Amino acid sequence: MRDFEGKAGLVTGAAGGIGRATAVAFGREGAGVVVADLEHSRDKALETIALVEEAGGKAIFVPVDVSDSTSVAEMVDQTVRHFGRLDFAHNNAGIGGTGFLADIEEDEFDRIIAVDLKGVWLAMKYEIQYMKAHGGGTIVNTASEAGLVGTLWAGAYVAAKHGVVGLTKTAAGECANMGIRINAVAPGAISTPMVRQLPAMAKEMILAPQPLHRLGTPDEVADAVVWLSSEKSSFVLGTILSVDGGATANAESYNPELSPSA
Ligand code: NAD
């Protein structure tokens, strides 16, 4: 029996990267998955659907802009209309943004907060309203290593992701006795378009203090999300699970010479 046989849920930002890997991982466990992403990502979302089905799951595309309340409410409604239930949600859609914080334009700051922070709050709002009235469920938010430590030249993103960490912990407590278990993953540098498009210097800066000295894979994050969404993590809530090659644990003290290769 697969862990998510007969269950259904949604993954935002599932047209690519970490969200796609998670949608496929849920599919492998037998779930019905709503692949939610921007309308203009429809073609890539359809590729995700094919991969979910190949893995043994069922999937549909639901267009969403996570920064828009009506659109997010509709995403939850459509999930329930199509699959008849909402057992799990991975609130993962996000955008990056770099720049010296005193030079970030106000509309850029607002955009990052709207998608990366308000988008997670809106998704939880409608998911919790449904789950509360229908026997509970699990929610995993995608925070970031940048939600746990400061990250130079990413001020708005850091602020949004620290906000996701705070929202996750608070929501976990508020919903603990409603049968809704809420956690977050905090990925380090993962090989997705968001990171691959960064300038080489930025990638080097990111990897230098990280003990494993490599990019993680979307699958490595997906495995953590599926575990946090499953019964196997039944006593885990309000946790921010780092999936970052040891980067956060060693950010202050790591010295490559102290961790030589064998
Ligand atoms: P990605 O760019 O490959 O995927 C992000 C997806 O979100 C895209 O498909 C995009 O279309 C979608 N999206 C963007 N804005 C949206 C909106 N308003 N509404 C709906 N969908 C929207 O990036 P990724 O690396 O897979 O990132 C996924 C999540 O992981 C993000 O929250 C990101 O901040 C976080 N994260 C990524 C890394 C990394 O190294 N890649 C590290 C830490 C955290």
Tell me if 209 sits within 8 A of 247, measured CB to CB. yes
Report which of 131, 24, 148 is spatially closest to residue 80, judged by C-alpha positions: 131
140 beta partners: 90, 183
| N residues, the chain | 262
Q: Which fold has domain 8-230?
A: Rossmann fold (3.40.50)
Tell me if 143 sits within 8 A of 161, measured CB to CB. yes
The whole-angstrom distance between residue 76's C-alpha and the CA centroid of its chain comes to 17
Expressed in angstroms and rounded, the spacing between residue 115 Cα and the centre of ligand 1 is: 10
pLDDT beyond 60 at 253: no
And the tokens for 152? 């130079």
Q: Where are the domains of the chain?
A: 8-230
pLDDT, tens digit, for every residue of 52-96? 999 999 999 999 999 999 999 999 999 999 999 999 999 999 999
Expressed in angstroms and rounded, the spacing between residue 75 Cα and the centre of ligand 1 is: 17
E-strand ranges in the chain read 8-12, 32-37, 58-63, 88-91, 137-142, 180-187, 240-243
The arithmetic mean of pLDDT across residues 170-182, rounded, is 98
Please state whether the predicted TM-score (pTM) of the whole model is above 0.75: yes
157 counts as catalytic: yes
58 beta partners: 32
pLDDT confidence tier of residue 152, bands split at 50, 70 and 90: confident
The arithmetic mean of pLDDT across residues 135-139, rounded, is 98
